[in-house]
Amino acid sequence: MLHPEVEARPWVEQLAIDDESYRLQLAYLFDRSPFYREKLAGAGLASAAAAGGLGDIARLPCTEKDELRASRTPENPIGAHLCAAPAEIVRIYSTSGTTGTPSYIPLTAGDLDNWVTGSARSYAASGVTAGQRIVSTYNAGPFVAGAALASFDRIGLCHIPVGTGNTERLMLVIEQLRPEAAVLTPSYAAHLVEWAAERDFDLEGSSVERVLVAGEPGGGEPAFRAKLEAGWGARVTEAMGIGDIGVSLWGECEEQDGMHLGARGFVHAELIEPDTGASVELADGATGELVLTHLRHRAAPLLRFRTRDHVQVWTSECGCGRTGPRVRCLGRTDDMLIVRGVNVFPSAVREVVSTFAPEVSGNVLVRPQAPGVKQEPPLPVSVELARNATPDAVLADAIRDRLRNVLVVQTHVDLVPWGTLRRSEYKSTLVEHQVEVDR
């Protein structure tokens, strides 16, 4: 552990510290944030004292990304949640922005330091230690991933940046510089396993002992993870963050049993029912949408921010000694489909299909037939066969049956030849979206 006194602190003690931070954060928001003064007044809360402590947080309204976006003006392109003076801001990241204009994420020096601290704990949980080499494949550019890369310095790793879209160089670096760890998206990690197999590159026997995956869900799903671990001959652990709140907030330890909150003390986590917004208790096995609140943020703190990440939570003790809840991302709420009342995540479909390896490649494409979330069964799913495999009705039926048994969803499975579905060096598209619909 990077900070055992923090990471192994009894969770009740953590919550007591967080409660104090939260009350100060609320007072700061009432003092500095036009956005939250108005929003909380609208909910009948005229002061920080009226809003209470962490135990009362579920009474507060959630914050949606769209509200922040709507509060931007030409004079304040960041948004009305900006609290800090220009001279206090040391970094401004931006998101890719699906609507064309990016969202800006400002940070003070203290915010940035907290981000890097949390991210360093999350990545160190994987077992990488000072003095080791790590090769990274993110093109950080304007994005928050830059702060994650800074966390490698904090851990004391030798960081070898290679960037995205440069597979030849990446493999050469692995061969020549012999890094102990690699950090990449799970999709790219899977793509590299295929790439290596096609070229007789001995990835399994390479120096890489740890593969740290982040950037999209799936890296923690057992069958998909097993495939990556076999291909890389390495232990695979995942990390997860959300741009507006913090980079790599969560990181998985060597027990591989869900991600710990590396950003504990900086961020408070809750679960809600995505449809109703009702609070869900953080109990062992609970699922829901992750809602995050800044506790010690200065530039543009957020309260009860809806992450759109649908997660499962575990509160049982972890063998590593870290305390507090652990999560695994089941999928993005935005990618979720509802088939006759049943929530279906494309990454869960891929996970079930992956259990049919080596007969399938593990690449899938879910093809909704109607715009929007609600779909009528059967849901069409293209499943790519393994190299040299031929379409086989028995296999298609077996996949369809297992999808029905595990996910309770009726599908139509269409087996497609090896190489048909697009590979990604960044994030995979598991859903063939209909003409863009406003969400």
184 or 318: CB nearest Zn ion:
318
For the bound state, the minimum distance from the C-beta of residue 265 to Zn ion, rounded and expressed in Å, comes to: 17
DSSP 386: P
Please give the helix or strand (H or E) that residue 51 lies within, else none.
helix 48-51
CA distance readout (Å), 398 to 21, 228, 236, 353, 392: 53, 23, 28, 10, 10
CA distance readout (Å), 330 to 18, 139, 162, 243, 386: 27, 25, 29, 18, 25
**Stretch near Zn ion under the rule CB under 5 A, chosen from 174-182, 224-232, 313-321, 372-380:** 313-321
Binding residues among 390-429 for Zn ion as defined by CB under 5 A: none
In sequence order, the β-bridge partners of residue 183 are 136, 212
For the bound state, the minimum distance from the C-beta of residue 216 to Zn ion, rounded and expressed in Å, comes to: 22
Using rule CB under 5 A, residue 256 touches Zn ion: no
For the bound state, the minimum distance from the C-beta of residue 320 to Zn ion, rounded and expressed in Å, comes to: 3
Residue 325 structure tokens: 């809840």
**Nearest residue to 353 (alpha-carbon basis) of 379, 383, 392:** 383
**Stretch near Zn ion under the rule CB under 5 A, chosen from 104-112, 153-161, 219-227, 312-320:** 312-320
CA distance readout (Å), 237 to 8, 162, 305, 338, 383: 19, 20, 26, 29, 25
Task: Tell which one of 192, 203, 261, 318 touches Zn ion (CB under 5 A).
Answer: 318
The 80-99 site mask, x for binding Zn ion (CB under 5 A), equals --------------------
For the bound state, the minimum distance from the C-beta of residue 322 to Zn ion, rounded and expressed in Å, comes to: 5
**345, 310 Cβ separation under 8 angstroms:** yes
Whole-number Å distance between alpha carbons of 205 and 193 = 12
What are the counts of helices (DSSP H) followed by strands (DSSP E) for the chain? 12, 20
148 or 253: CB nearest Zn ion:
253
126 or 307: CB nearest Zn ion:
126
**Stretch near Zn ion under the rule CB under 5 A, chosen from 187-195, 223-231, 317-325, 430-438:** 317-325
**Angle between helix 222-232 and 186-198 (nearest 10):** 40
Whole-number Å distance between alpha carbons of 217 and 428 = 10
- 3-class DSSP string for 211-246: EEECCCCCCCCHHHHHHHHHHHCCEEEEEEEECCCE
**Stretch near Zn ion under the rule CB under 5 A, chosen from 230-238, 269-277, 311-319, 343-351:** 311-319
- The angle at the Cα of 96, spanning 92 to 98, to the nearest 5 degrees, equals 135
For the bound state, the minimum distance from the C-beta of residue 153 to Zn ion, rounded and expressed in Å, comes to: 24
DSSP 114-151: HHHHHHHHHHHTTT--TT-EEEE----TTSTHHHHHHH
188 or 250: CB nearest Zn ion:
250
Task: Tell which one of 255, 367, 410, 416 touches Zn ion (CB under 5 A).
Answer: 255
Binding residues among 322-351 for Zn ion as defined by CB under 5 A: 322
**Nearest residue to 329 (alpha-carbon basis) of 393, 266, 248, 255:** 248
Using rule CB under 5 A, residue 352 touches Zn ion: no
- Strand, coil or helix: what is 111? helix
301 or 324: CB nearest Zn ion:
324
165 or 321: CB nearest Zn ion:
321
The 193-212 site mask, x for binding Zn ion (CB under 5 A), equals --------------------
Q: Maximum distance among all alpha carbons in the chain? A: 67
**142, 167 Cβ separation under 8 angstroms:** no
Using CB under 5 A, count the residues that bind Zn ion.
5
Using rule CB under 5 A, residue 313 touches Zn ion: no
**Stretch near Zn ion under the rule CB under 5 A, chosen from 8-16, 21-29, 38-46, 250-258:** 250-258
205 or 285: CB nearest Zn ion:
285
33 or 122: CB nearest Zn ion:
122
Binding residues among 149-168 for Zn ion as defined by CB under 5 A: none
For the bound state, the minimum distance from the C-beta of residue 221 to Zn ion, rounded and expressed in Å, comes to: 18
Using rule CB under 5 A, residue 320 touches Zn ion: yes
**Stretch near Zn ion under the rule CB under 5 A, chosen from 78-86, 226-234, 252-260, 273-281:** 252-260
In sequence order, the β-bridge partners of residue 94 are 104
51 or 318: CB nearest Zn ion:
318
The site for Zn ion (CB under 5 A) is made up of 253, 255, 318, 320, 322
